Amino acid sequence: MTANIIYRGTLRCEAKHLQSGSIIETDAPTDNRGKGDRFSPTDLLCVSLATCITTTMGIKADDMKINLTDTTVEVTKHMLPDPRRVAKIEVTLNMPSTLQLDEKDKIILERVGNNCPVTKSLHPDLEINIEYNW
């Protein structure tokens, strides 16, 4: 088992990661009767994609002796109303300005990011746009 989840009422859930004990709370978004005080479940889906891309690139970069520290990532979620679902996720990775890579290394890292486990786990109808700013 990965996590235990408790519904706390008022559209809030608390998820406890069993290995580390860390806790994440979720709220329904304000456009779906929630308070928007925490990440929504669909926000976490998008954040999972963005952090998976970044993490898998970081693993490969470490193997290549490339330091991606201080890379920043922006993620934007686009919803559809009926059925209510995430229609598109936009991920923009901004690499540190001090990072100087040749085209071959950039291509390798982008391929790794584009094929992270979360990307491969999402439905093909979900539009995913990933932009790499080197």
Homologous superfamily of the 40-133 domain (CATH): K homology (KH) domain (3.30.300.20)
Helices (H) and strands (E) in the chain, counts: 3, 6
Please state, for a pLDDT cut of 70, what percent of the chain lies above it.
Answer: 100
- Give the residue extent of every domain in the chain: 1-39, 40-133
Please state, for a pLDDT cut of 90, what percent of the chain lies above it.
Answer: 100
Whole-number average pLDDT of the chain: 97
Reported as a pLDDT band with limits 50, 70 and 90, residue 36 is very high
Q: Alpha carbon 120 to chain centroid distance?
A: 13
Per-residue pLDDT reduced to its tens digit, 64-93: 999 999 999 999 999 999 999 999 999 999
Distance in angstroms (rounded) separating the CA atoms of residues 13 and 5: 7
The answer to whether 25 touches 42, Cβ cutoff 8 Å, is no
Output the pTM of the full model.
0.94
Mean pLDDT of 17-33: 96
Per-residue pLDDT reduced to its tens digit, 89-130: 999 999 999 999 999 999 999 999 999 999 999 999 999 999
